[in-house]
Amino acid sequence: MTTNLDPGKIAQLLTLSARQLDQSTLSALHSARQNALKRQAVRAPVFALATGRGTHSLIPDSIQQWVVAGLLIAMLIVGTSFWHHIVQEQQISDIDVAILTDDLPIEVFVD
């Protein structure tokens, strides 16, 4: 058995019922509501994929944040490629030193 609840009708019934209460009861209800709202903690997620005001978002929503994110990514790419270059140069240098000092094993020359 389902009943259709009309929000407008419910609001009218609540308004009529509230008019029948005395002023001291209404004041007590109002202060209790205000106290409950003060105690209610609004918790926003630290990282959210949705952009919006008032929340810390994982996706940048301003041009300045996009520029900073792009610079960080570019620095990461440049640093990684530089590190690979240094490692490759070190390996080539080690091979050159081994060739010049005749420290290479015979297996290197036999192919």
First to last CA, the chain: 87
What pLDDT is recorded for position 54?
53
As a whole number of Å, the CA-based R_g of the chain is 36
CA–CA separation, 35 and 41 (whole Å): 12
pTM for this model (two decimals): 0.36
> Could you read off the pLDDT of 49-103 as tens digits, one per residue?
554 555 555 565 678 888 888 999 999 999 999 999 999 998 888 878 877 887 7
Each domain of the chain, given as residue ranges in start order, spans 1-41, 59-111
Which tokens sit at 90?
């070190």
What pLDDT is recorded for position 56?
53
Contact indicator for 55, 46 with CB cutoff of 8 Å: no
Give the torsion sign (CA, 10, 12, 14, 16): negative
